Copies of this chain bind each other. A is one copy, B any other.
């Protein structure tokens, strides 16, 4: 059981045409960590251990500015329940085929 779920939307400060390249680098990094994740239209949601996810959240900001952006603006949602959060699957499975 996980105790944390974080959703992250990164908006790198790059010309709009180059936006998705920088965003892709961040998503690739998230995938590389091995945490459970789901990519949505505006953000990517991860679930796992609170300490680990907070580290990943921080690293994502750094990756954005290491890939061509002068800066990054992020929208983040953090759900932290020491005794366990609802999983991504529990929350969305009934609405998916």
Q: How far is the CA of A57 from the CA of B40 in the complex (A)?
A: 19
Give the A interface residue count (CB, 8 A): 43
Q: How far is the CA of A41 from the CA of B57 in the complex (A)?
A: 17
Task: Name the prevailing secondary structure of the A interface residues.
Answer: mixed
Measured CB to CB, the nearest residue on chain B to A82 is B65
Q: Name the B residues within 8 Å of A27 (CB-CB).
A: 95
Measured CB to CB, the nearest residue on chain B to A84 is B71
Are A7 and B85 in contact, with the CB atoms below 8 A?
no
Q: How far is the CA of A17 from the CA of B25 in the complex (A)?
A: 24
Measured CB to CB, the nearest residue on chain B to A74 is B78
Which one of A9, A16, A70, A95 has the greatest number of beta carbons of chain B within 10 Å? A95
